[in-house]
Amino acid sequence: MREEMDVVKISDEQLRVLRTVLGERIYFFYADRLQVEEAGGSFLFWASGFALAMSTINSVPGKFRTYINISADYRLCSQDATTYYEFEVNVSSAPLWQEGALQFSKLSSLRVFSDPILMIEIYQNCNSTGEKTVLHDCAMVFYAHGKKIMLQARQELIGGVDIILDEHLIESQTKKLKLRCTLV
């Protein structure tokens, strides 16, 4: 089956990093340049990549935040499709790949102060037969008590990620996608 052959799985190492998010609180989304766009009565926040500043429930003094960096880069596909999108996920001691950007106030931030993350879902695009472009790993939904946060690949921007906080917009977006992985 062509669709299954084209599935690009998120790596075990990236899944391990995402599992560390479970039970933690997202304090901020850091971006090199956070931008806002209106979308169907809701607002999208987007940038070329995000870092989630995390805090554990039982924080160790002196080690308050961990940064999970997420971007969505396109790759060329060896099959007849042209490109696909996949998440890059890593952990570091500083937001994004710009180690010094925070000290020089070159980062934008979106304050979230979420409840602990209970579950993460990873979605891929469902292609119609005959489409030339294949999109994979193009959305993640983080679930907290009574709140959802969605990160989605921004197809027109290499590395670009949308962050969606509006629950109705999240529901409409996930209806078009295929659930591929659930972390609890």
The string of DSSP letters for 113-167 reads -PPPP-EEEEEEE-PPTT-S----S-EEEEEETTEEEEEEE-TTSTB-EEEE--H
Q: How many CB atoms lie within 10 A of CB 8?
A: 16
Q: What is the pLDDT of residues 11-52, one digit of tens each?
A: 889 999 999 889 988 888 888 778 888 877 788 888 888 878
pLDDT score recorded for residue 32: 77
pLDDT score recorded for residue 38: 85
pLDDT-derived band at 3, boundaries 50, 70, 90: very low
Q: What is the pLDDT of residues 114-162, one digit of tens each?
A: 889 999 999 887 655 555 555 566 789 999 988 999 998 887 777 788 8
Q: Does the pLDDT at position 5 exceed 60?
A: no
Bridge partners of residue 164, in order along the sequence: 44, 150
Distance CA 170, CA 148 (A): 8
Contact 117, 24 (CB under 8 A): yes
User: Mean pLDDT, to the nearest integer, of 48-75?
Assistant: 72
pLDDT-derived band at 53, boundaries 50, 70, 90: confident
What dihedral angle (degrees, nearest 10) is formed by the CA atoms of 20, 100, 102, 104?
180
Contact 143, 136 (CB under 8 A): no
Q: How many CB atoms lie within 10 A of CB 71?
A: 25
pLDDT score recorded for residue 170: 92
Higher pLDDT, 3 or 39: 39
- The overall pTM is greater than 0.85: no
Residues 6+ apart with CB under 8 A from 85: 72, 73, 74, 75, 125, 135, 136, 137, 138, 153, 155
Tell the burial category of 120 from Cβ atoms under 10 Å away from its Cβ (0-12, 13-18, 19+).
Answer: buried
Higher pLDDT, 115 or 77: 115
pLDDT score recorded for residue 72: 79
Helix (H, G, I), strand (E, B) or coil at 45: strand
pLDDT-derived band at 79, boundaries 50, 70, 90: low
Tell the burial category of 128 from Cβ atoms under 10 Å away from its Cβ (0-12, 13-18, 19+).
Answer: exposed
